[in-house]
Amino acid sequence: MEIKLLFFTLIGLFVLVLVLYLLREYKMEEKYSFLWLIMGIIVFLTPLLYPVWSIWAGKLGLADPNLLIVVLGMVGILLLCLQFTLALSKAYRDRKTLAQHITFLSLRIQLLEKKLSQKREGKLSTQSGISKIGE
């Protein structure tokens, strides 16, 4: 096997092992791992798929199959970025909703505390009024 192809296999293997390790330790959510796993498998299988790359590079008019691998790698990274952007957008929306929810809850607690203290003060003043009459 050529050195460059062996290099791809090692990178693919490293990505796969790293992602599985992060999943095993609950450091990565499973739903965000799929693209990484697909990328890892494709990179790992690159030496086996090399004849296929050569055929497709020829069809696309690319002189070097390695160029096709680089282009596909870039597409993969773009897809990963897109997934992160979508996840971030959803996380931002959820965080905003949560912050608004907490804001309204705080307001309700403040109002309840105010009502409670007014009630207590009312009771206290009534009690002191009674004791004054008693004196």
Q: Does 26 bind other proteins (CB under 8 A)?
A: yes
Among 9, 16, 33, 76, binds other proteins (CB under 8 A): 33
Nearer to other proteins, 74 or 98 (CB): 98
* Residue 20, number of CB atoms within 10 A of its CB: 15
Q: Does 89 bind other proteins (CB under 8 A)?
A: no
Residues 77 and 82: their CA atoms lie apart, in Å, by 9
Q: Does 22 bind other proteins (CB under 8 A)?
A: no
Nearer to other proteins, 19 or 69 (CB): 19
Contact 49, 90 (CB under 8 A): no
Among 97, 117, 118, 126, binds other proteins (CB under 8 A): 97
Contact 15, 43 (CB under 8 A): yes
Structure tokens at 78: 């773009």
Structure tokens at 93: 């929306």
Nearer to other proteins, 78 or 91 (CB): 91
Structure tokens at 72: 């596909």
Query: Which residues contact other proteins by CB under 8 A?
Result: 20, 23-24, 26, 30-31, 33-34, 37, 93-94, 97-98, 100-101
